Chains A and B, each alone.
Chain A
């Protein structure tokens, strides 16, 4: 993906840029809002990673508002030291697609960037999701593995659906909490891990090949190959 990073802190920018490049992305970097807006408006990017507070008169929110008013629909991920809920709401209202509070783990940033950049296409809504021999039917809301029906709770179904929609991508614990449960809070303990391991037990019971993999220091990934 071609990603535009607008971040005024040189150290954070270097770290993010290096990480994204190592993950196989091309990164352009602007250090202030004005340059960022100019680049975003004049060139084609797959993804914008913006600091919420930027020098140069144009802050992250203004930048996105301007882009959106010009019909530019490039996905935007906000990075911000402002963590208050209304700040995040403000960012999303302005046209941001996701919001990540500083300090963050790079794995979290990468997972969110990839999730945003490869969003499922809207034109042909799939009715079935498949990963290897695991099949999730969105209409009948059933899960089968190698033709064998697996009973899951409604929440487990949504958890699995989210993982399968992002098959091959890392999904972090906070992303699951936000997308599957729709809450922004600090659960204090590894509550999500318990839910995932429960689901994993149901899916992998009686099969040698595990499908849900734990990605160290990041989160989870569902994929066919081990």
Chain B
């Protein structure tokens, strides 16, 4: 498989790769053997051979049709004329006897200016010539075969002739045509075909070579990119030819795949950054508090208070961690295994009920508008968590006296769950960032929360094949409120 000229274990540069060859060297081994595949294994070679074969078959078919239409047609024309002539002469013999027949032959010979016709009338034994322009019966052609081609002496020249033999009682008639010119034509045709065949072969091989190289050239960027990525350069993308053909589509798909991987990697990196920042900060804070207490706390009571605070901080950290894990699980689609059919309506009613008391305690009203049933296939706990996060957000950011609304309805596309409030809403520039992990609008920084709520909602929606839309609940008002719409497609 690998190019023997390359040192073992070295990655060959994917500059001149065999077109389309199976990258068998890719499986597992870290040293990628991407050298040109052996000729017979090369898909480019196979395509090229196929092309040459098709080209040759087409050429052969063309020549066959051409032959049949030219040389064949001439032969058939000659035969038809000879046959008609023979029938007419036989008719003449029946009407006017042997002398009449002889006369007819002489007449025909007299008007044959092109000197093409050949006639010979002899007695049954073939010893006496009665009429015609041949000196004697052609040798070797005495019996049986009615149609034949032979060399005769005509007009003092040896010529090729197409002859038809007719037996009449007591007579033998030979009708034919001089074929010298036709033979010449046939010879020219044959010559032409031979030359053309040679040209066909040359063109087929050239075409094959072109195909193979075109394939290699078009596969080259894909190979270069994949090899670069395997080598660690994740930013590499396949260059498009701009032709919008299959190769470009393949490249586009490949690039889309790479983009998706990149965004996932970005997400992972984002989580690491977020963990680094948003988990380290509270950890550092808790640690500082404990250390400070250890150094300065005089009495047990204040030390105790600090330790309690430390435990609360750790619980907060562990909750952030749990939320991150849930988001990661949802994003990875790992929880799809836990999908089961269930009715979302009572779950939403429960969510409203769980949060209604809290809303009421903050002087808000909770309104619900839920249908009887909302059958769905999904993860019940995660969907509840998502709705809970939205309700929690809405309650947190709506001032006392405000309204929080939970509604759900069936749409032709699936299910739509809406949580709306009449709080201050979200500025359009923040809306784009809402849903990013740990994003918190400046206004929200004073409110407790991890900034993970909406990312989880988004991850849960995506897990179910849906999406989350954020919009102003009442766009014209100074307090536009926020409406979060979770769209879940029909299972």
Contact = CB atoms under 8 A, between A and B. Distances in A.
User: Which 4 pairs between the two chains have the least Cβ-Cβ distance?
Assistant: A194-B357, A185-B385, A188-B392, A194-B358
A191 B354 contact: yes
Tell me the dominant secondary structure on chain A's binding face: loop
Given A83-B322, A84-B329, A103-B318, A189 B358 contact: yes
Interface string A175-197: 00000010111111111001100
Given A83-B325, A86-B335, 5 more contacts: A84-B334, A183-B380, A186-B385, A188-B388, A217-B311
B247 to A, nearest CB: 42
B399 interface: no
Nearest to B351: A183
A163 to B, nearest CB: 16
A89 interface: yes
A194 B361 contact: yes
B419 to A, nearest CB: 14
Interface in B316-357: 318-319, 322-323, 325, 329, 334-335, 337-338, 350, 353-355, 357
B381 A184 contact: yes
A85 interface: yes
Given A84-B334, A85-B379, A191-B354, A185 B361 contact: no
B369 interface: no
B318 A185 contact: no
B389 interface: yes
B413 to A, nearest CB: 26
Contacts, number: 64
Contacts of B385: 185-186
Contact of A181 (B350, B389, B396): B350
A198 interface: yes
B380 to A, nearest CB: 8
Nearest to A153: B353
B322 A186 contact: yes
A162 B228 CA distance: 62
A24 B373 CA distance: 49
Instruction: From A83, A85, A217, name the one whose CB has the most chain B CB atoms within 10 angstroms.
Output: A85
Interface residues of B, number: 35
A187 B385 CA distance: 7
A183 B308 contact: no
Contacts of A128: none
A105 B319 CA distance: 13
Contacts of B311: 105, 217
Given A85-B379, A85-B381, A185-B385, A198 B318 contact: no
A105 B380 CA distance: 26
A155 interface: yes
Instruction: From A86, A184, A190, A191, name the one whose CB has the most chain B CB atoms within 10 angstroms.
Output: A191
A183 to B, nearest CB: 5
Contacts of A105: 311, 315
B449 interface: yes
Contacts of A195: 354, 357
B381 A86 contact: no
A185 B381 contact: yes
Nearest to A103: B318
Contacts of B315: 103, 105
Nearest to A102: B318
30 contacts: A83-B322, A84-B329, A85-B338, A85-B379, A85-B382, A86-B338, A89-B338, A101-B322, A103-B314, A103-B315, A105-B315, A155-B353, A181-B350, A183-B380, A183-B384, A185-B388, A186-B319, A187-B388, A188-B392, A188-B449, A189-B392, A189-B395, A190-B358, A191-B354, A191-B357, A194-B360, A194-B361, A195-B357, A198-B357, A217-B308
Interface string A98-116: 0001010100000000000
A84 B357 CA distance: 29
